[in-house]
Amino acid sequence: MNRKSATALFVLGMAIVTCSTLAAQAGSSQSAERTGMPPTEVAPVNGGSNDSQTHAVLRIASVEVIRSAHAPYMDIIRVRGLVSSNGWEEAELVPLTRGVPPDGMLQLIMVARPPETASDATGYETVEAIFPLETNHPFKGVNVHGATNAVTVTALPGYSEATAAADDCGKCVGKTLVAKGSSSAGRDVLREDQLPPETRIVRPSEGMMGTTSNPNRLTLILDKDSRIVTAVWE
């Protein structure tokens, strides 16, 4: 399954407008950085072909806002996110806030570029990104969104982290899947309610509706005994 032909889910291209300098700095394949204040306008989603493979990361793990020790003070937002597999690149934080919000909360989304092909479920990977804010910015807190959750810091500087993530299915092949609410347990059993949101479960007699790729959707293929024989992130 090739993601180059998949429908673009997330593209947020925009200029970072500051009182002094327009700047953006790209980091390594595991992180990226944007500098400045959120724009007064947010560009339309699905804007450019060069960004057609950008997706929200699966989950936000933690958000930390660090304040410099010497004047002029600067706040730096550091976010750790979980992605479904290895091979994700160019993680960055993109502002969703237009101008100065009435509640003082800066809204960000963490995005990255997934690998071009479907990936076996081998466990989550961690990516990081930072977002420096202008001196004397107006924000009281920050809320960072992933594909399946969001993490909020209500006072700056500050730190907050998400609750434990769902099973990454890195070792689920060969286990027997049991329905939600079941009390079954054991090394060879995986409960459906332990799986990530929107997991697609395909039994031997079932088709697979739709061809749109989604790197944040786990697909499990079962045999006739409900054993997991394939686990892939699309």
Intervals of CATH 3.30.10 along the chain: 176-233
The helix, strand and coil proportions of the chain, stated in percent and rounded to the nearest 5, come to 5, 40, 60
Instruction: Report how far residue 33's alpha carbon sits from residue 206's, in angstroms, rounded to the nearest whole number.
Output: 44
Q: Which of 15-19, 33-37, 141-145 has the lowest mean pLDDT?
A: 15-19
The H-or-E segment that residue 152 falls in is strand 150-153
Q: Is the pLDDT of residue 31 over 90?
A: no
Q: In sequence order, which residues have a C-beta less than 8 Å from that of residue 162 and are 6 or more positions away?
A: 59, 60, 61, 62, 149, 151
Q: What percent of the chain has pLDDT over 90?
A: 62
DSSP alpha helix (H) spans, the chain: none
Instruction: Report how far residue 21's alpha carbon sits from residue 154's, in angstroms, rounded to the nearest whole number.
Output: 28
Q: Which of 14-18, 127-131, 139-143, 198-202 has the lowest mean pLDDT?
A: 14-18
Q: Is the pLDDT of residue 38 over 80?
A: no
Burial letters for 113-137: b for 16+ Cβ neighbours within 10 Å, e otherwise? bbbbebbebeebbebbbbbbbbeeb
Per-residue pLDDT tens over the stretch 54-93: 899 999 999 999 999 998 889 999 999 999 999 999 999 9
Confidence at 13, pLDDT banded by 50, 70, 90: very low
User: What's the pLDDT score for residue 152?
Assistant: 98
Pick among 1.20.272, 3.30.10, 3.30.70, 3.40.1800: CATH of 176-233 = 3.30.10
